[in-house]
Amino acid sequence: MDIPMIELGSSSCGEELVPPWLKPMLRTSFFVPCEVHADSHKSECNMYCLDCVGHALCSYCLGDHKNHRLVQIRRSSYHNVIRVSEVSKFIDISCIQTYVINSAKIVFLNGRPQPRHGKGVTNTCEICCRSLLDNFRFCSLGCKLGGMQRDPGLSFVLRPKSSRDWLHGSESDESSTPRKVRKMSPTMAIDRWRWSDDEGGKFTMSTTGISPGTPPIISYRTSRRKGIPRRAPF
């Protein structure tokens, strides 16, 4: 399904396009009581409809949005976040730092200004100055949106997946998340299998054969042979 896009308001963004639901979603207040179902149990609004682009929804509102594109907003340290697996279906989140919370990758909706930085910080968000890993430019969806005013090369438009991406099932967030380098000692090689980062952290068949292990230490020194026992003289 094609996602309609709209141009940013500023002409400095050139031809960059943004989905029409992104700005309203970033401005929406979540985790507030639902105005329609305020008397119902668990009527907290933590859902958003990308097709209707209205207010936040509670679980009781979902019946009116069947077959619509819905995303769930979550919270981390009093900040709104969304799972990468949900948002990456609709927009490109490259250049945005992702985090892992409860075993799931997430991105923050809006910036979190950080005026003071610890020692050794070498990279910060271009908009709110939040400290980042070196591979990223922004800390949230909102900060990337603001960065598009300065950099016409940025975009939220999804890029088509290559045949390699479809083969290995990689998500759009893989390119924006640095991968940890795994080191393997010779003793970790089992038969002809080895650990490969290139294949998404799976065991793959080694084309170079069995990894050479440390040869066993062989001692060529033999024990000294005792001489013929002699009886002490009387």
**101-142: pLDDT as tens digits:** 999 999 999 999 987 777 888 899 999 999 999 999 999 999
The per-residue pLDDT of the chain, averaged, comes to 75
| Other C-beta atoms lying within 10 Å of the C-beta of residue 220 | 4
More confident residue, 142 or 158: 142
More confident residue, 115 or 75: 75
**161-177: pLDDT as tens digits:** 665 554 555 444 444 44
**What gap in Å lies between CA 155 and CA 171, rounded to an integer?**
17
CB-CB contact of 111 with 139 (8 Å):
yes
Strand positions, DSSP E, the chain: 6-7, 17-18, 47-49, 70-76, 79-83, 99-101, 104-108, 193-196, 202-205
Domain ranges of the chain: 21-148
